[in-house]
Amino acid sequence: MQVAFFSTIEDFWALYNMIQQPSAMNWGSDYYLFKEGVKPMWEDENNVKGGRWLIVVDRQRRSQLLDRYWLELLMAIIGEQFEDYGDHVCGAAVNIRQRSDKVAS
């Protein structure tokens, strides 16, 4: 279910500043940021042949690292920092779990 949409950096910051930081979310919560028209699921035709990279954040380091990693990833995607591979990066996810949290793209 799409909750919000943005098309400018100003709209992104307005949205980002209104939502809860990942480190403050409850276990079992997820945030997704995906390009328009791409669903955060492997079955989406844009993701079928895709892969992912994953950062696992231990619970003891959560407050120090999770929000920073999530924001850095969002900024890299929005700011087109993946250069030649930008068309292949469809989105990002942060998953809040009891033992460890995950940031992925």
CATH number, domain containing residue 78: 3.30.760.10
**Whole-prediction pTM:** 0.87
Q: Does residue 50 lie in a domain region?
A: yes
- Which DSSP symbol is given to 81? T
Q: Does residue 2 lie in a domain region?
A: no
User: What's the structural domain count of the chain?
Assistant: 1
Residue 59, SS3 per DSSP: helix
Q: What are the pLDDT digits (tens) for 5-39? A: 898 999 999 999 999 999 999 999 999 999 888 88
Domain limits for position 45: 9-104
